Amino acid sequence: MASSTSTKMSEETFDYICTHCADGNLIKEALKYCVDCQQYCCEDCLTSHRRIPLLRRHSFLDNSSVKPQEQPKSLPAFPTKQCNHHIGKIMNMYCKSHDIVCCYVCAAEDHRSCKDMMSVSDNIGQLYNKTDISKATLKLSHTLDDMNQWQKHTDTLLKQLQDSKTTAIKAVSDYRLEMEKCLKKMEKASIKEIEDEYKQIESELLEERKRFEDSINELKNLKKLMVQASANIAQMFVCTKLAEKNFTTIRDTEMKTERFNKAEVKFLPSEEFKSNIQKMVHLGEASAISSRKYILHKAKKICDMDVLLKDDKRGVRAIHGSCIVDDTVIFTDCFNNILKRFDISSLSLIDYCDVPVGPCGVCRVGDKHVAVACRYGVVQFVSIHGKLSLSHCIKMNHDCYGIAHINDKLYITDWNNSLHMYDMSGKLLKSVTRDNSGQPLFKCSNHITFNDQKDRLFVCDHKKGLVCFNAQCDYIETITDPDIRPDGICLDGYGNIIVTNSALQTIVQCGRDGQKHGVILKSKGYQYNVCIHHGHRKMFVGNHLDTVEVYKLTWKND
């Protein structure tokens, strides 16, 4: 046996260590067990017991207290770990049915009906197994190593997150400076325009002033000559006739000239620019990016949620689109031409409103509206502030099916062969039908979404694959994985995208680049659209029937 020298973080081992010292991260060899304290004591703690009057009557056990057939070590075996639920109670009971240790209060409260409760100390001989202890110790060491690695990884992520926040804030400041440069450039251009307008009018006024000045000088000279020639009637006659001619010339000239009655330059601010700036709350969009790399979701079905109202016509192809709005989920009922909102927790109907014929895709637009893509060429904006109510609408010259919104632009598919980009007033900015080589991009352009970084737009086409663009609608690539024949698509809140494949009857999890991670659900039904509430970890799958499938999401390794 090793000596009783104490050490912090010592690698020395003892058969029994002092309980009180171990709580202070000191390793000392125990010499006796205090029955009253239910702790092992080293030599110094025994001395304290002798010095403190209240502790002097405590009873101690050593190897002499153990029967010879029990083959004692230096001290009898007693547990010293205190119960987490009952302060001061030692975990000295074992329930064989539940294979757990606890204190006697836990045993009385939670294991009253268990018939195989036993005292750890009294039955340690049959309970103790060296092999089990060795396995548990080894597993504990490995788990501890894993946890330390995960903790280091989390620390790295926290540092990465902190650095990214600093970078993002600097990007805001840099963008503001860039906008200030643009404003200064615009200011300079506006000032130049004012100067140009000023110079034009100034030149005309100076020219007119010069004409007046010349006329005034001519008249002054004639007047002077007339004064000087007062005794010379011949000269007076000539000056008189010259003066009369000048009167006529000046009068005719002034009558033909458009006289100025006002001269000023003004600056009229752009109301459109001012209005757009006032509508904006942020300089851009902030997004938090977190992902569990290559960890698949596990989906457990909760229920089939009936989403039809009492007066609805029941039939196939009902729910075409869905989106999450705060703690609610909104569905488009294409068959009954209704927008419906349900509570995420209770799955109960909150409210609904009628929309134009053929509502399909739906996406959130700002804080107070959603935009609904309707099949026959209409995008209907619906207020979500309070009860659902129709706002304004935009009419297109093509069918509308999938819809997404970012940076005051709408992206709309036509369930055919095109993707269109519009501004918020309905002005067409771009239409895409073919790739750079002139080949058709789509056979059936369907639901769409951006990834969480807003640098990729994904368009579902169950015949071609997952077609990828940037925010300017420039084509990037088409993902043609055999497991991806997408109809519905959404984000999961962890950097992944989720796609439904009605023909394959599967739901696939992909990375933010659109590449497949794996199949998370196989079903006998046809999944046409999907949305996920990140906080509640609920997934809603529309199947073009009268119901929506609701799943609880966990991670595969949970």
Tokens matching residue 70: 């029990």
Domain presence at residue 2: no
With a cut of 50, list the residues of the chain below it in pLDDT. Answer: 1-10, 66, 68-72
Neighbouring-strand partners of residue 319: 333
Is residue 351 included in any domain, yes or no? yes
Is 96 a member of any domain?
Answer: yes
Task: Count the neighbouring beta carbons within 10 Å of the beta carbon of residue 197.
Answer: 14
Compute the half-sphere exposure of residue 481: CA atoms within 13 Å on the CB side of its CA: 18
pLDDT at 257: 57
- Residue 391 is classified by DSSP as E
Look at residues 391, 383, 334 and name the one whose alpha carbon lies nearest to residue 357. 334
Q: Same structural domain for residues 113 and 217? A: no
> Chain centroid to CA 405: how far?
14
Check if the beta carbon of residue 243 is closer than 8 Å to that of residue 236. no
Domain-located, residue 39: yes
- 288 lies in some domain: no
Per residue in 265-307, pLDDT (tens digit) is 888 888 888 888 887 777 877 776 666 666 889 999 999 998 8
Q: Of all helices (H) and strands (E), which one includes residue 236? A: helix 233-256
Two tokens, residue 530: 């999907």
80 and 146, same domain (yes or no): no
The reported pLDDT for the residue numbered 144 is 87
* Domain shared by 177 and 321, yes or no: no
Residues 372 and 505 placed together within one structural domain of the fold: yes
Residue 5: predicted pLDDT: 45
pLDDT of residue 370: 97
**Rounded CA gap, 261 and 366, in Å?**
50
> Does residue 289 sit within a domain?
no
User: Closest by alpha carbon to 379, among 325, 328, 423, 432?
Assistant: 423
Q: Which of 108, 126, 144 is the last residue of a domain?
A: 126
Question: Which run of H or of E encompasses 165?
Answer: helix 130-228
pLDDT of residue 519: 94
Half-sphere exposure of 91 (CA within 13 A, CB side): 10
- Please indicate, yes or no, whether residues 378 and 463 belong to a single structural domain of this protein: yes
**Which among 66, 146, 543, 527 is positioned nearest to 319, based on CA atoms?**
543
Query: Which tokens is 201 given?
Result: 């009018």
CATH value at residue 356: 2.120.10.30
**Residue 462, CA distances (Å) to 320, 363, 522 in order:** 15, 21, 17
Report the sign of the C-alpha dihedral through residues 140, 144, 146, 150, in that order. positive
Burial class (CB in 10 A: 0-12, 13-18, 19+), 82: middle
- Judge if 181 and 89 occupy the same domain: no
* End residue of a domain, out of 279, 314, 341: 279
Phi-psi domain of 415 (left: phi exceeds 0; alpha: psi -120 through 50; beta: other): left
How far is Cα 322 from Cα 547, in angstroms, rounded to an integer? 13
DSSP 8-class letter at 349: E
**Residue 487 placed within a domain:** yes
Sequence-separated (6 or more) residues with CB below 8 Å from residue 553 = 297, 298, 299, 492, 532, 537, 538, 539
Rg of the chain, C-alpha, whole Å? 43
Kindly report the backbone phi and psi dihedral angles of residue 146, in degrees, each rounded to the nearest multiple of 5, phi listed first.
-60, -45
Gap between the Cα atoms of 150 and 144, Å rounded: 10
Residues 246, 306: one domain? no
User: Do 504 and 388 lie in a common domain?
Assistant: yes
Q: Give the residue from 279, 309, 337 where a domain finishes.
A: 279
Q: What is the pLDDT of residues 46-60, one digit of tens each?
A: 988 888 888 888 888
Residues 206, 315, single domain; the answer is: no
Q: Same domain, yes or no, for 113 and 150? A: no
Give yes or no for a contact between 371 and 381, defined as CB atoms under 8 angstroms apart: yes
User: Quick one: 56 and 108 in the same domain?
Assistant: yes
Terminus-to-terminus CA distance in the chain, angstroms?
44
Q: From the centroid of its chain, how far is CA 417?
A: 30
Strand order in the sheet with 117-119: 100-102, 93-95, 117-119
Cα–Cα distance between 318 and 490 in angstroms, integer?
19
Residue 256 placed within a domain: yes
Residues 112 and 40 occupy one common structural domain? yes
Question: What span, in angstroms and rounded, lies between the C-alpha atoms of 123 and 115?
Answer: 15
**Is there a contact between 225 and 239 (Cβ–Cβ < 8 Å)?**
yes
Position 390 scores a pLDDT of 96
Contact predicate 547/304, CB 8 Å: yes
Number of domains into which the chain is organized: 3
DSSP output for 400-444? ---EEEETTEEEEE-SSS-EEEEETTS-EEEEE-B-TTS-B--SS
Domain span at 343:
297-555
* Side chain identity at residue 224, one-letter code: K
pLDDT at 130: 62
pLDDT attached to residue 470: 96
Distance CA 500, CA 505 (A): 8
